[in-house]
Structures are given as structure tokens and as C-alpha cells.
């Protein structure tokens, strides 16, 4: 009886020793080490775009790629980088999510931008606008606009004919905004007055040159959706067409006054005001 118990205890002891020895010689396999990959966020196209398209802020998005795959011709995301891409022209089509590389783009500050951006036979003219006449900064390169001329005639005796507005050019494309053609990203440091460069025909370029000396120019953005049927240019809008008070004649005409000016022995000259 005693010998049987002894052998059982010995067997249990040897079994435990063997288990401990096996565990010691076969350590558990740990989880594999996961290498952390550094990512970088670069600018890409937010939707399919055609070649020759001028980029707007909504056309640019970001994608994350491993830093080791980031090339020097890619653009790291930042507010300054997005600003610099606004108005840049795609040299070829881009698929949605495609990383925008330097070789894919021609920026307004790059040499030869206008020559490439203009369609055949077209011209580029620049007009000055302020924050009001420039639609408060809501116009972007690639938009189509109407150019409106507003004139005032202070000496016109009929009050309803003292101010008039008319569309000088209709449906012209904006090529560049501010002074990015010369100063690139420094345009934000300029005064509030701005310049807008339009794509026009040779005849339209002459019309713009005359209009800049006639009155105040302003821009009206056109819808990106095509209209139904042919569009007619509306007639000029006079002050009487806008103001019922002027149209009804309740505003009295100004009283014309004059003075005589004499210079030395010359005859007097009448000046009316």
C-alpha cells in the first residue's frame, strides 16, 4: 500500500517537472510587432475634372499616404497651399482622388499661364473692381460673368435719366482674380481694390477699354447651369425704371445756376453748375 502511494506521488512529481521543463523550453509566442507607418496629408482632386479646368476651392480635397511615398512634387495640405492652387489650370484630366502633382498644374503666377489658359483667338483684359463690384469675393477663376457698366449724368434735367446701367459683355470667362498673375500668394496682402482678368474677343477687348473710362464696372456671376432657350440681353436700366419716385416726377429738377468768369482783358466766360 505504501509503495503504491509512493509511486503515484513520484509519477505526479515527474509529470509536473516535465510540464515545467517543457514550458521553459517552449515560451509562448507573443503578438507580432506592428510597425507604425507615418502618414502625410496631400492635396488631391475632389471629383473628376477635365483638362484645361481652372481649380476652385471645392475642387480640392485631401488624401493620406505613407510619408515614405510622398514625393517632392506633391502638395502638403495647408491653408496657404490650398490658396495657391485656387485658379491653377489642370494640364490634363484628373480622376476623383488623384493626387495633384506640380507637373499636372499651371499656376496663375507661372510664366506663360495666360497663353495656355486662353482659348484660340481670345484675348485677356483686366478690369479693376472693389469688394462690392467684385461680388464680395464670391467670384473664382473659371466662373462666367456679365460685365455691367453704370453711368451717372448729374447735369441731366430729367431725374429719371441721371443714372443708367447696362450689360457691356455677357457670359465671359474669368481667368484670374486679384493680382495673382504677378504676385502669386501675396495677393492677400494687397489693398481691398482688386483686378479681375477676363477672356474676351478682340472686339470685346476694345469695348472694355472704352467702358473703363465711362463709368463704374461691376460683375454679375452667371449660373453654371445652361439656360433654356436663347438668352436675350436685357435693355439698359435707367434710374426711372428702378425708382418709382423718380419715375413719378416727385423729385424736382435741379436749379441751374451760373457765374461769369473774367481773366484779364478777355471776354467773360459763363460757367453753369
Q: What are 134-153's pLDDT values in tens digits?
A: 544 578 888 899 999 999 99
- One domain for residues 165 and 94: no
Per-position DSSP letters for 71-140, written without gaps between them: -TTB-B--HHHHHHHTTPEESS-B-TT-B-BGGGEE-TTSTTHHHHHSPTT-EEEEEEE-TTTTGGGT--
DSSP-based three-state secondary structure for 263: coil
> What's the CATH number where 68 sits?
3.90.1210.10
Phi-psi region of 249 (alpha: psi -120 to 50; beta: other; left: phi over 0): left
Closest CA to 128 of 254, 30, 212, 221: 212
Q: How far apart are CA 75 and CA 84, in angstroms?
A: 10
Whether 134 and 113 have beta carbons less than 8 Å apart is answered as: no
138 and 219 fall within a common domain: yes
pLDDT value, residue 262 = 57
User: Would you say residue 31 lies in a domain?
Assistant: no
On whether residue 102 sits in a domain, the answer given is yes
Number of domains the chain is built from: 2
- 125 & 50 share domain: no
- What pLDDT score was predicted for residue 186? 44
Give the range of the structural domain holding residue 89, as residue numbers without chain letter: 39-106
Query: Which pLDDT score is estimated for 86?
Result: 85
Residue 258, in any domain of the structure: no
Instruction: Return the pLDDT at 190.
Output: 45
Residues 190 and 243 in one domain: yes
Question: d(Cα 27, Cα 22) in Å, to the nearest integer?
Answer: 9
Residues 174, 199: Cα–Cα separation, whole Å = 6
Residues 129 and 243 in one domain: yes
Q: Are residues 97 and 68 in the same domain?
A: yes
User: Does residue 94 share a domain with residue 46?
Assistant: yes
3-state SS, one letter per residue, for 150-207: EEECCCCCCHHHCEEEEEEEEEEEEEEECCHHHHHHHHHHCCCCEEEEEEECHHHHHH
Cα separation of 98 and 92, whole Å? 12
- Quote the pTM value: 0.65
Which grid coordinates are listed for 112?
506663360
Report mean pLDDT in 10-residue bins for the chain, 273 residues: 59 60 62 74 92 89 88 88 87 91 86 86 85 60 91 87 91 78 42 76 94 90 72 82 74 57 58 57
Amino acid at each position: 500500500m505504501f509503495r503504491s502511494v509512493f509511486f503515484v506521488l513520484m509519477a505526479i512529481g515527474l509529470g509536473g517537472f516535465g510540464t515545467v521543463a517543457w514550458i521553459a523550453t517552449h515560451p509562448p509566442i507573443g503578438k507580432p510587432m506592428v510597425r507604425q507607418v507615418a502618414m502625410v496629408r496631400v492635396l488631391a482632386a475632389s471629383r473628376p475634372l477635365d483638362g484645361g479646368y481652372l481649380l476652385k476651392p471645392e475642387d480640392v480635397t485631401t488624401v493620406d499616404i505613407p510619408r515614405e511615398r510622398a514625393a517632392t512634387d506633391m502638395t502638403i495640405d495647408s491653408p496657404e497651399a490650398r490658396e495657391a492652387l485656387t485658379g491653377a489650370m489642370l494640364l490634363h484630366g484628373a480622376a476623383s482622388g488623384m493626387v495633384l502633382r506640380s507637373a499636372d498644374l499651371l499656376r496663375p503666377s507661372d510664366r506663360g499661364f495666360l497663353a495656355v489658359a486662353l482659348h484660340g483667338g481670345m484675348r485677356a483684359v483686366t478690369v479693376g473692381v472693389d469688394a462690392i463690384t467684385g461680388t464680395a469675393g464670391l467670384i473664382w477663376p473659371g466662373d462666367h460673368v456679365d460685365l455691367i457698366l453704370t453711368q451717372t449724368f448729374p447735369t441731366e434735367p430729367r431725374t429719371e435719366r441721371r443714372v443708367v446701367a447696362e450689360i457691356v459683355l455677357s457670359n465671359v470667362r474669368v481667368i484670374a482674380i486679384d493680382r495673382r498673375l504677378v504676385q502669386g500668394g501675396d495677393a492677400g496682402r494687397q489693398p481691398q481694390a482688386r483686378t479681375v482678368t477676363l477672356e474676351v474677343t478682340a472686339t470685346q477687348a476694345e469695348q472694355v477699354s472704352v467702358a473703363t473710362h465711362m463709368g463704374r464696372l461691376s460683375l454679375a456671376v452667371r449660373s453654371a447651369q445652361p439656360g433654356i432657350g436663347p438668352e436675350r440681353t436685357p435693355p439698359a436700366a435707367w434710374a426711372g425704371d428702378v425708382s418709382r419716385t423718380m419715375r413719378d416726377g416727385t423729385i424736382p429738377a435741379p436749379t441751374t445756376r451760373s457765374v461769369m468768369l473774367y481773366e484779364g482783358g478777355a471776354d467773360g466766360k459763363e460757367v453753369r453748375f
